[in-house]
Structure 1
Amino acid sequence: MQQCGQNLDFEVRWLPFQLDPSASEKPYSRMEAYAKKFGKGKEEVKQMGSWMKAKFDAAKLPYEFSEAALASNTFDAHRVLTAAYKHGGAEAQDRAAEALFHSYFAKEKAPNDPEALKEAAKAAGLDGDAVLDKSFAASETQEEMKVGQKLRVRGVPHFVIRTENSRTEQISGAQPPESFVEAFEALMR
């Protein structure tokens, strides 16, 4: 964080939050889900996908959004992330998150796709087959869900920046880098 004029050391921790806890476990069309959610026609949703692709391209990240793109309930993906952190800390959890994001945004797979879950688990150093058991890390994940509820999180992404002495700043939604610099500077005062 050179913008803050200091060397900052921090750890990223991914906590579970479901935008739609009632979403089906059976994968469904992401295009149709977005059309319904945003009240748009198919062509408008495709334009949204093109806009997102441009954002991903600018960040040099892969992104695909076609009629083959799937969505589903996200709880299983959250179970993998919870277990990854418990098993190997922030680094293992980051590797699992990267694998899940790649599966969703680049390969258009549903968040609960068994192969995507296994790949994410393996990336974190976990047994890929173990995560297919629905009870795997389920109670721990349910407990972690309460953190977002206590913070009154309403959408994703939602960032909580906390110092060692428990001072916090929160940033909701996708924000430009300047918003993070401002939050870090506020916490250093």
Structure 2
Amino acid sequence: MSATEATAGRLEIVSDAICPWCWIGKAHLDAALALLAAEGLRFEIGWLPYQLNPDMPEGGVDRRAYRTEKFGSWERSQELDAQVAEAGRAAGLEFRHALMTRTPNTVEAHRLIRLAAPDGVQHAVAERLFRAYFQEGEDVGEPATLARLGAEAGMGEDALAAFAAGEAARAEVVAESLGLARAGISGVPSFLLDRHLLFSGAMPAERMAAGFRRAVEILRERAA
């Protein structure tokens, strides 16, 4: 989309890099955006940080131990993983939970996504991180891994250098994640149009498209 092409507004996705429903939601979002683009509705896309586990140790933890404690048993965790995998297949995604050994702290992943904005590749970086974690078993809390994934998704040298320096966007990511939680967002993915919260959840593409379409109509009516 050219800089001069009009959009229907800025659509932002509140997400965490290790949220399976966020990857499923992104798949449905991409399909919804394609439906709306065919009608002439196009959006500026951005990603906002949300930490599902803000107290996670910096180096992450063993996934099996963490989820066993969280859900009461490993068997229950596997049942939930199977539900996610089924929903993923319906969205055209393959989850490989057997490859996932770590539950990482996601501040570094959010830093990477934020620093991808000037290059216009936030959407691509988010997708690359989801695929790396859920399908390839990568540790998306490890800075060297993240830098490689960012480069694969199209981030430029300046953005990657800022990420490698270690502090760029850290304070902003933490503050924004806390701010979104305090504003009432308690689940991800959540979708905002021009900073108006539309809905949360990985609903099917047709329902998403209908929600975005109606939101555009309402905001245009208010502006008229």
TM-score for the superposition, normalised by structure 1: 0.80
For residue 143 of structure 2, what is the amino acid of its counterpart?
P
Does the alignment pair 1:176 with 2:198?
no
Residue of structure 2 in register with 1:18 after alignment: 51
Deviation, structure 1 residue 104: 0.9
The number of residue pairs the alignment matches comes to: 181
1:135 to 164, 167, 170: 167
Residues 49 and 149 of structure 1, relative CA distance in 2, 3 Å threshold: closer
1:85-122 deviation per Cα after TM superposition (whole angstroms, max 9, x unaligned): 1x212xx1112111111111112233312343112321
For residue 88 of structure 1, what is the amino acid of its counterpart?
D
2:145 to 108, 116, 129: 116
Deviation, structure 1 residue 42: 1.0
Does the alignment pair 1:88 with 2:123?
no
Does the alignment pair 1:6 with 2:11?
no
Deviation, structure 1 residue 126: 3.1
For residue 209 of structure 2, what is the amino acid of its counterpart?
V
Residues 186 and 169 of structure 1, relative CA distance in 2, 3 Å threshold: farther
Residue of structure 2 in register with 1:75 after alignment: 107
1 CA distance for matches of 2:129 and 2:100?
17
2 CA distance for matches of 1:4 and 1:169?
21
For residue 17 of structure 1, what is the amino acid of its counterpart?
Y
- Is the Cα–Cα contact under 8 Å of residues 117 and 132 in structure 1 kept in the other structure? no
Residues 9 and 147 of structure 1, relative CA distance in 2, 3 Å threshold: farther
* Long gaps (5+) in structure 2: 1-31, 219-224
For residue 148 of structure 1, what is the amino acid of its counterpart?
L
Deviation, structure 1 residue 3: 7.2
1:104 to 124, 133, 151: 133
2 CA distance for matches of 1:5 and 1:130?
37
2:97 to 65, 70, 76: 65
Residues 68 and 78 of structure 1, relative CA distance in 2, 3 Å threshold: closer
Structure 1 SS opposite 2:85: helix
1 CA distance for matches of 2:128 and 2:55?
24
- Is the Cα–Cα contact under 8 Å of residues 157 and 172 in structure 1 kept in the other structure? yes
Structure 2 SS opposite 1:57: helix
Deviation, structure 1 residue 69: 2.3
Residues 45 and 170 of structure 1, relative CA distance in 2, 3 Å threshold: same
For residue 133 of structure 2, what is the amino acid of its counterpart?
Y
Percent pairwise identity: 26
TM-score for the superposition, normalised by structure 2: 0.69
1 CA distance for matches of 2:200 and 2:103?
23
Deviation, structure 1 residue 40: 3.3
- Worse-matched range after superposition: 4-13 or 66-75: 4-13
1:18-49 deviation per Cα after TM superposition (whole angstroms, max 9, x unaligned): 11211011232223323322x33112211222
Deviation, structure 1 residue 152: 1.9
Please, what is the CA RMSD of the aligned residues? Answer: 2.7
Residue of structure 1 in register with 2:10 after alignment: none
In the TM superposition, structure 1's runs of 4+ consecutive aligned residues that sit over 4 Å from their partners are 1-5
- Is the Cα–Cα contact under 8 Å of residues 99 and 119 in structure 1 kept in the other structure? no
